[in-house]
Structure 1
């Protein structure tokens, strides 16, 4: 049939949508020769495509092939790109505004911020010369739960989340026609954060094990004297239950320990309020965002083997600090306006990583760490080297890695699974894009697998080698346009030779099971 019919039929098979914040109204789309027409409720317009709810279902139609009739028809010449972002207050208060302002400046646009409510605001983006409005970005700052609820009710286009999407949310999103939000193109890690145990500055305790943290959260460890502190009851401070930070605490500390949260936890509506409360409470402990610990004292993570891990930009970026928390943007399977797509592309750029660092968060720009800065890790390796075979493997590792530099992109697998965790899946994409850009042309890239110390050493070595090769193949598959003949890529493994944490807990073993990338 005519061009319009072909477009309409093709749209039946497009699992994409469009974004609009105008009230839904009935419109008629008519082919330019007047032979075919389609009536339905306008769900969205992105400046190029209409999205309609019709008797045939939800259709997407190219505006260049049709004429729009009805009071709800948007302007093709004065189109303003609109985007609604909902979810984590941690991400939306500082980080996203900083990125929007930097994006606008780079594109010659001006920005103005309009506060529209206690937890809402709008960014207006205008052309620098004419002052014409070209975009409006609406923000609803609440928590991760509300962000997903807004997305599922069609009140948001993007979710800011401090945790991975949960199975029930995946199912509901799929049923709502939003696509599979587990796919890598439906989410991206914007920046990195961490859950950091904090106490008041005067508290003498300076380190705690995740096992003891779990006992505190469960209410079975209740006095600071047990940890070498004063003889005083421990008060617990956490974010409100709907926040991604609080849910991350449950997912990473409570559930693996197979305990439940105790009663009497003091809850806070913001990260700032949590940090301020801990600073005032001499016997309080909380788990705070790395970006907002305020005037509190962060505690190192430790264990019976004596290893200590502190939250710092590099240890968070490498996931050596085990309570790292990726900051996600989730996007449904719908077409966003061009300006919104350009903004999302900008968030992964080199200049955006600088903005992320300046905003107090941990960026994802890969860095190369010289081997002479691996002292603590090699000291741990020496301390646990067991017998002749352990010493031999340690010597082989030192010889193999000598002269190489460690890349800050590490890879870990989900507990009990062969699937990479969320941050690692993002790291695969980052490394693949770098290979496509020729960043590592002429270099030798070695994927190195490590394991925990549970079970026979030979078996651990085989598993570590298998994981290293799996990561290498995942990166190769993702780097579709890279000329891999310009890079020498290989894999190796050293099993349990260089542990990051004690093996006495689930989190410690998870930290030790990893794949690193070393460059020469």
Structure 2
């Protein structure tokens, strides 16, 4: 006997199917379910974030405000916290509910301490987690995994001087000699002004950790005694701007009225801290901005903030806050002497995209940022009609004894990126490897070699 649905059955089917779909989404994506995020009770925060002053001073409050507004909290205010460099962001909904987020910006290292003692759900860091920090949190999972480590934007350490300073560029070697105290006067650098006054961030700062790793330690130096130290990048910049003999380093968002210098590393050309060169991480003092979370963290607000920060709205706020967002854009490059002929042809006829792919140390596996960049690049190619033989991948590497081997390895890196994008139907115009040409960093240490092992993307 066949079954014939009644009119009431036919009306019920769409509702039943809708609930099945909702149930599946809630099961598959529990923290993205349709239910509203929980509100605060008795003045307790729904989320606590600690760590980097670079991120926490400007960007993080804007991201939290954006998230609260996207969740329907129309009345959002930022209030001082219990101590300096602490804030409380409060959202109030039309029905009287509150969501409170506490932010503390005392330096990247303090964020990992807060994760370990459970006084924060997210750690903001302007440098990667250190081995000792990862080991200390290993009971909570792998803090270097894609579930735990999230790049929310790119920053560049700007080397700043007083606007009246005539100097225009420095090498990282000279920077190390200046901040170690070996070079003591501006005259030694071909300038004028007498004794050099040094300004640096404090030891808790990810900004200082980045400078120490990329500049001081990379050249076997330590910071000179007597250097003036600051918890706040904004205060440091203000002091340098007022001191004709001063030099310091800050994140992009804190340059303010100071003058920036072009920086060269190893055989690279001197580069300004421009948006494009920082987006591709070619600028020698570029760095990633991170939010870290324990892999099994259950706080739904923490997950929501990470998702918001990676989305279009969040990345727009990253750019508006003085940093460099990760949305892919096309940039016209100028051919110049010293470029390989094939590269000059690209520069003349194609546009470079504002993304470089880099790899895990000692591996051909894309790193955590690169895995997300595959998704961003795919979206760009789809939206701009570049899926069919209009894209070129160019691999680069560090020197090898056999130049042919360097060229082969650089092409293999480009092919690793092609493999990921080809899964979604991208057809490429060309895949090439240029070996150790056009270095963006020195090749005498691991950090420099990792930066040089990259894949660029060009489109016609």
TM-score range, shorter chain: 0.7 to 0.9
Residue 500 of structure 1, CA deviation: 4.3
Residue 138 in 1 paired to residue 95 in 2? no
**Structure 2 residue corresponding to 1:174, chosen from 128, 138, 143:** 138
Q: Counterparts of 1:427 and 1:75 in 2: how far apart (Å)? A: 35
Asked if the contact 1:160/1:329 (under 8 Å) is kept, the reply is yes
Q: Output the TM-score relative to the length of structure 1.
A: 0.73
Instruction: Point out the structure with max Rg over C-alpha.
Output: 1
Q: Report the Cα offset of residue 318 of structure 1.
A: 1.1
The corresponding residue for 2:25 is: none
The reply to whether residue 379 of structure 1 matches residue 336 of structure 2 is: yes
403, 410, 415: which is aligned to 1:457? 403
State the SS of the aligned residue for 2:81.
strand
Greater strand content: 1
* Kept after mapping to 1: 8 A contact 2:359/2:370: no
Q: Distance in 2 between matches of 1:304 and 1:172?
A: 35
Pairwise mapping of residues 257-406 of structure 1 onto structure 2 (< 5 A)? 257-302=219-264, 307-369=269-331, 373-375=332-334, 378-382=335-339, 394-399=340-345, 403-406=349-352
SS of 1:142's partner is: coil
**Contact 2:158–2:261 (CA under 8 A) maintained in structure 1:** yes
Query: Does structure 2 retain, via aligned residues, the 8 Å contact 1:380–1:498?
Result: no
Asked if 1 retains the 8 angstrom alpha-carbon contact of 2:121 and 2:299, the reply is: no
Q: How many residues align?
A: 422
- Separation in structure 2 between the aligned mates of residue 249 and residue 502 of structure 1, nearest angstrom: 15
Q: Residue 479 of structure 1 aligns with which residue?
A: none
Name the residue aligned to 1:219: 181
Q: Which residue of 2 aligns with 1:106?
A: 70
Is the Cα contact below 8 Å between 2:200 and 2:227 reproduced in 1?
yes
Question: Equivalents in 1 of 2:300, 2:358: separation in Å?
Answer: 34
1:426 partnered with 2:369: yes
Distance of 1:77 and 1:200 partners within structure 2: 49
Distance 2:357 2:406 in 1: 17
Please list the CA deviations of residues 272-312 of structure 1 after superposition, one character each: whole Å capped at 9, or x if unmatched.
11111111222221111111012111111137868321001
Contact 1:208–1:303 (8 Å) recurs in 2: no
Determine if contact 1:217/1:236 at 8 Å carries over to the other structure.
yes
| CA distance 1:209–1:346, change in 2 (3 Å) | same
Rounded to whole Å, the distance in 2 between the matches of 1:374 and 1:239 is: 35
CA RMSD of aligned residues (A): 3.3
Q: Whole-Å Cα distance in 2 between the matches of residues 454 and 411 of structure 1?
A: 21
Q: Secondary structure at the match of 2:298?
A: coil
Q: How far apart, in 1, do the equivalents of 2:79 and 2:196 lie? A: 42
Q: Which residue of 1 aligns with 2:387?
A: 442
Does 2:425 align with 1:485?
A: yes
Residue number in structure 2 paired with 1:68: none
**1:317 positional shift:** 0.4
**Contact 1:443–1:519 (8 Å) recurs in 2:** no
Tell whether the 8 Å contact from 2:160 to 2:260 is kept in structure 1 after alignment. Answer: yes
Partners of 2:426 and 2:452 lie apart in 1 by 31
Pair 1:283–1:457, CA change in 2 (3 A): same
State whether residues 264 and 284 of structure 2, in contact with CA within 8 Å, keep that contact through their aligned partners in structure 1. Answer: no
CA deviation vs aligned residue, 1:178-237 (integer Å, no higher than 9, x gap)? 211010110111111111111111111111011111112222222211211126222221
- Pair 1:84-2:48 in alignment: yes
The 1:403/1:85 distance shift into structure 2, 3 A limit, reads: same
| SS of alignment partner, residue 255 of structure 1 | helix
Q: How does 1:401-412 map to 2 (within 5 A)?
A: 403-412=349-358
Residues 340 and 425 (structure 1), Cα distance of their counterparts in 2 relative to 1, 3 Å cut: closer
User: Do 2:350 and 2:459's aligned partners in 1 also have CA atoms closer than 8 Å?
Assistant: yes
Q: Name the CA distance, whole Å, in 2 between partners of 1:222 and 1:451.
A: 36
Query: Which residue does the alignment assign to 2:19?
Result: none
Runs (5+) with no aligned partner, structure 2: 1-30
Q: 129, 143, 153: which one pairs with 1:191?
A: 153
| Cα distance change on mapping 1:494 and 1:381 into 2, 3 Å | same
- Relative to structure 1, the CA distance from residue 284 to residue 380 in structure 2 (aligned partners, 3 Å threshold; closer, same or farther) is farther
Partners in 2 of 1:196 and 1:405 — Cα distance? Answer: 26
TM-superposed deviation, 1:349? 1.3
Name the CA distance, whole Å, in 1 between partners of 2:175 and 2:127: 20
Greater alpha carbon shift after TM alignment, 285-294 vs 463-472: 463-472
* Residue number in structure 2 paired with 1:125: 91
Q: Answer whether contact 1:413 1:420 (CA < 8 A) is retained.
A: yes
For residues 106 and 278 of structure 1, what CA distance do their matches in structure 2 show? 39
TM-score, scaled to structure 2:
0.82
The answer (yes or no) to whether the contact 2:218–2:445 under 8 Å persists in 1 is no
Comparing 281-290 with 163-172, greater Cα deviation is found at 281-290
CA distance in 1, matches of 2:151, 2:322: 16
Q: Is the 8 A contact 1:211 1:505 kept in 2?
A: no
